[in-house]
Structure 1
C-alpha cells in the first residue's frame, strides 16, 4: 500500500467534525445536568431523577472516552504525517493503522452512547405515560 502525505491529511476535517459532534453532545448533557440539578433541589426523592442520574454518569464516562480516543486518533494522524515527511513509510503505515483503530474505537463508543441516550429518553417517556 502506498501512503502519501495527503492520505492522513484527509482525516483532519473528518476528525474536526467528529469533535464538533462530541462537543455538542457534551454541552447538551451539561445543560441537562444543570436542569436536573435544579429539579433535584426541589424534589430529591423523585424516582425518575434517580434513574436519569445513573444514565448520565454512564454517558459522561462514554463521552470522555470518545473524546480521548478521538484525540489519540488526531495525534496519530499528525505523527503519521511527520513520519511520512521524514520518509519513514513503514513506520507511517503502522501509525496510520493506529490512527484508524482509535478513530474506529471512538465511533463505536459513540454508537453505544447514542443507544444509552435513547434509553434515557425512553425513561422520560415512560414516566410521562
Structure 2
C-alpha cells in the first residue's frame, strides 16, 4: 500500500482554498447581476429579461454545487491530514481519494458553468448584432 504524507493533502488544501475564492467571486457577481435584473424586470416586465434570468438560475445552481463539492473536498483533505496525524494511513488514503473525486466533480461543474456563461454572453452579442443590423 502507498504511503500518504501530510504534504500531499496540504498542497491540495491550498489549491482548493483558491478555487473556493474564485467560486465565491462568481457567486457574488451573479448576486449583483440578479439583483439588477430583478429591479429592471419589476420596473417594466420586459420578457427578454426572462431568458437571462433562466440562464442565471442555471449558473447559480451549478455554482452552488461547485461550492458544495469543493467544500466537501476541502473538508475531506483536512480529515485526511488528521488521519495521517493519528497514524491511520489506510483510512487516510481512501478519504483522500474521495476528496480528489469531489474536487474532480467540482471542476467538471465549473466547465459546465463556463459553457453556460459563454452561451449567455452569446445572447448579448446577438442582441447587439441585431441592433446594429437594423441601423
- Normalized against structure 2, the TM-score is what? 0.91
- Which residue number in structure 1 is paired with residue 133 of structure 2? none
- Which residue number in structure 2 is paired with residue 124 of structure 1? 124
- Is the counterpart of residue 102 in structure 1 residue 102 in structure 2? yes
- Which residue number in structure 1 is paired with residue 80 of structure 2? 80
For residue 5 of structure 1, report the CA deviation from its aligned partner: 1.1
Distance of 1:69 and 1:45 partners within structure 2: 36
Gaps (5+ residues) in structure 1?
none
- Which residue number in structure 2 is paired with residue 29 of structure 1? 30
Gaps (5+ residues) in structure 2?
130-135
Question: 1:19-74: per-residue Cα shift (whole Å, max 9, x none)?
Answer: 11001100111111111112212221332x11111111111100000000011001
Distance of 2:23 and 2:15 partners within structure 1: 12
Distance of 2:85 and 2:46 partners within structure 1: 60
Higher Rg of the two aligned structures: 2
- Normalized against structure 1, the TM-score is what? 0.95
Distance of 1:15 and 1:45 partners within structure 2: 40
**Ranges of 4+ aligned residues in structure 1 off by more than 4 Å:** none
The alignment covers a number of residue pairs equal to 128
